[in-house]
Structure 1
Amino acid sequence: MLRIVFICVLIMVCPLVSAQVVQEKAPPAYIKSITFQGQTAQSQLPIIQLGQQLILEFDALNGDEADFYYQIKHFDYNWEPSQLMQSEYLSGIDNQRIRDYENSFNTYQIYSHYTLRIPNAQTRGLKVSGNYMLFVYNDYDELVFSRKFMVQENMATVGVSVKRARDVRQVETMQGLDIIINSNNMRFNNPQQTVKTCIIQNNNLHTAISNVPPQYTLGSELVYKYTDKILFEGGNEYFYFENKDIRGANAAIRYIELNELYSNYLFTNAPRFNKPYTYNPDINGNFLINAINTEKPAIEADYAWIHFSLILPELPKNESVYVYGNFNNYALEDANKMVFNPANGLYEVPILLKQGFYNYKYVVKNNQTGALNESAISGSFWQTENDYKVVVYFRDLGGRYDRIVGVGEGNSTNISN
């Protein structure tokens, strides 16, 4: 009830104040293993077509079988609240309890596994395309966490090709994109004003490049062939580990201990910025929950403390080292911040993770400016294999919201000059 009153007040106040960009809220320590995907793609950033299913899963480690509720909101391309009323973008109702949950079975760590599918009996579907955010609340109307997702109409074709940087000073480290947008179903009037793009590397919205206008129009095609505006660091292949057999040393695990929970100690990693590029297959920052000899890994996979360590001289006080990936939505938090151990000269951090296969990388943050340096430890190479998505937004003159009319994908495996 309190949440409904708050939303009503918010709607009345919104016209009086300037809109603000919404940010995802990171979950508390007892919420783990959030997976958010469409019905076919294994991704932590769902981009689905209208009418497709959306699936959210997560674990609550407090053992209370707590009740959680969800809400869905629509946003403009820049993640400011849109002008649409809920009835204009949502069929049915939200603010409903997540009813599908199961308790863990035969695990040291007790948890409840929750699953939310949309559409469902209460929330029958989404009516329009665009940016959305799913909010999860607890019994006390407190926001627990939120996640972004996108819905597209598939009205335009988006061609994406990955190129080496055209600037010789960046040719060894950067990857650029050439983009061509075409549609036989609609006319892009005044595309410099009506068409927006968001270019995403490896499903990481934190490093996405947004709001790049078309460079020029060629017939019915919008062409982007910039030399400087759509450039990403190539980075390096992700580190990985696998602990689907929690009692045995799997890939990248040095040894194991059992106290109240299992502890998996990974082999110590070393910086790679000063080493030649070496191809190492990865899943581009993603993770998969898995456990051997189980019928339902969602509730039978156990949790273990994963001990990360990095051999690196102690950095200045204004810099911090983090380990991150899709497993924590690329967030920089105290839970994944590494601490320098002068006794062994290593940066270390233990993170509680569910059994499976994980990609991760080490990054450096400037504590004064907040600037993130993803290549300070891993290096950046043009040969690195990366996934790219290009999301195309369109708001016609007089339109009230930003439609997503097309999504294109590319991979740097086929990178060219």
Structure 2
Amino acid sequence: MPLGTPITSTAPAAPGTQRPPEYYADKTLRYQDYTYSPDVRSVQCYMATGQPNEVFQPAVVPLGQSSAITLDFDVLGDQSQRYTAKLIHCDVDWQPSLLTDMQFLTEINEFTVTDYRVGTGTKAPYFHYRLRAPNVRLSGNYLWVVQTPAGVPLLSRRLLVYESRVNVSLKPGIVIGGQERFTLQQLDFAVSYGNVELVNPVVEVKTVLRQNFRWDNARYGLRPTFVRDAERRLDYQYFNFENAFPGLSEYRFFDTRSLLSVGIGVLHVDPRAAPVSTVLLQPEVSRNGTAYNQYVDANGQRVFESREYGNGATNADYADVTFQLKAAQPAPGPVYVFGALTDWQLKDEFRLRYDEAKQLYTGHALLKQGYYNYDFAVAGASGTAPNETYFEGTHYETENQYDLLVYYRPPGTRADLLIGYQAVDMNSRQ
């Protein structure tokens, strides 16, 4: 089987499928968005709305609507497999809570994945799987795990179920600083709890602030700067950039929805290549230090589609996509392609190699046909967020989405409830 070769195989892998085995070798369940098999591709977890581009909606729903959360993924290979899924209730820090299954579910916590279809008319053989989340009793953090019959995890995705028990006010703020006011985006927020009895809100209310629904650079541990007891309100207004994010630039993009013609961002396509078509993207350059360039992007996301055959779920093929980045000198650390296509992680298969003679970074990955957003990130010290500003620059004018999660654990209980949620657009183009 040319694609989806197990990592233990000694057979040579097809172009675009070579992946370092260490990333997939450890099958220990991680309480984060993660893929445990090199055969699993094109994972999307979102709130189904029935509207165009619903895949851009995050996996965040009100209590009572968790069945709207949908999980799509492909498994490379020419044989369908039997998979099951389960939910794990987690605390605010994404560790398993002490709740039993029946305390947050009304049914047995094992759901067979029965909705699957074979890829049609594609060079790369694959099966496309889809499932909906079950209804849950409690708000909070949930980890959705798909696993084999032997209990080996295949993939995991985070999803959020919230209640509107407190009023959340999230709005763009003004950065107090010098040069920072041109590069950072600040979010001020407040939590009003007049309708709910919170015993010790200053200590027990916990907040998480996210940019573009990412977890890798989320702001944790933000404490209220003002406590208004009479108004039953917590204000969060900081002056040392604790609640500020680099605005970055609008995401780079390319279009491979057609493999018979050259899409935007693409330099060359070879549909006759074997075992899969090859795509060479246009050479990119650093945008650090350049003026802000306004255009509409998808905030790092991607959508799968085939212009020739229609349905992206089962008609879109896979291609070996080569990225190019011009650089006069090597970056201060390893360089990666970064975005939703990498689960917002620095994955080895998306690492670029530098050719000093050509002054060019290149790398390739196996990707499904579609429209993609991405940027280039430089790895820093272990435990630090990737440095996206090195090649992308940062501007306060950039359009980004932010959301705020408000958690509370009632005294004597064993679960962190998600009691408030709000999302806001910064520099919306609507």
TM-based fold match above 0.5: yes
Aligned counterpart, 1:13: none
Q: Equivalent residues in 2 for 1:380-391 (5 A)?
A: 380-391=394-405
How many angstroms does 1:398 deviate by?
2.4
Q: Equivalent residues in 2 for 1:163-242 (5 A)?
A: 163-218=173-228, 219-228=231-240, 229-242=242-255
1:245 pairs with 2:254: no
How many angstroms does 1:27 deviate by?
3.7
* CA distance, structure 2, for counterparts of residue 365 and residue 77 of structure 1: 27
1:378 pairs with 2:392: yes
Aligned counterpart, 2:16: none
Aligned counterpart, 1:16: none
* CA distance, structure 1, for counterparts of residue 300 and residue 359 of structure 2: 27
* CA distance, structure 1, for counterparts of residue 46 and residue 30 of structure 2: 23
The question of whether the paired residues in 2 share the 8 Å contact of 1:43 and 1:203 is answered with no
How many angstroms does 1:94 deviate by?
2.4
Number of equivalenced pairs? 390
How many angstroms does 1:394 deviate by?
1.3
Aligned counterpart, 2:5: none
How many angstroms does 1:295 deviate by?
4.2
* CA distance, structure 1, for counterparts of residue 250 and residue 213 of structure 2: 15
Q: Equivalent residues in 2 for 1:304-343 (5 A)?
A: 304-315=319-330, 319-343=333-357
Report the structure, 1 or 2, having the larger strand content.
1
* CA distance, structure 1, for counterparts of residue 56 and residue 201 of structure 2: 30
How many angstroms does 1:115 deviate by?
0.5
1:149 pairs with 2:159: yes
Matching residue's letter, 2:377: V
How many angstroms does 1:378 deviate by?
0.4
The question of whether the paired residues in 2 share the 8 Å contact of 1:161 and 1:410 is answered with yes
* CA distance, structure 2, for counterparts of residue 234 and residue 157 of structure 1: 26
1:97 pairs with 2:120: no
Aligned counterpart, 2:12: none
* CA distance, structure 2, for counterparts of residue 43 and residue 189 of structure 1: 37
The question of whether the paired residues in 2 share the 8 Å contact of 1:98 and 1:116 is answered with yes
For 2:227, what is the secondary structure of its paired residue?
A: strand
* CA distance, structure 1, for counterparts of residue 335 and residue 189 of structure 2: 34
Cα separation, partners in 2 of 1:371 and 1:206, compared to 1, 3 Å: closer
What is the RMSD of the two structures over their aligned residues, measured on CA atoms? Answer: 2.0
The question of whether the paired residues in 2 share the 8 Å contact of 1:44 and 1:326 is answered with no
How many angstroms does 1:339 deviate by?
0.9
For 1:59, what is the secondary structure of its paired residue?
A: strand
Question: What does the per-residue CA deviation read over 1:345-378, in whole Å, with 9 as the maximum and x for residues that have no partner?
Answer: 2111111111111100000002666552111110
Aligned counterpart, 2:95: 80
How many angstroms does 1:160 deviate by?
1.3
1:257 pairs with 2:270: yes
Aligned counterpart, 2:418: 404
Query: Structure 1: 5+ residue runs without aligned partners?
Result: 1-19, 120-124
Matching residue's letter, 1:130: G
* CA distance, structure 2, for counterparts of residue 209 and residue 284 of structure 1: 18
* CA distance, structure 1, for counterparts of residue 425 and residue 45 of structure 2: 22
Query: Bigger CA drift: 150-159 or 351-360?
Result: 150-159
Query: Bigger CA drift: 21-30 or 87-96?
Result: 21-30
Matching residue's letter, 1:51: G
Query: Structure 2: 5+ residue runs without aligned partners?
Result: 1-28
Match of 1:50 among 63, 66, 70: 63
* CA distance, structure 1, for counterparts of residue 408 and residue 64 of structure 2: 19
1:344 pairs with 2:358: yes
For 2:358, what is the secondary structure of its paired residue?
A: coil
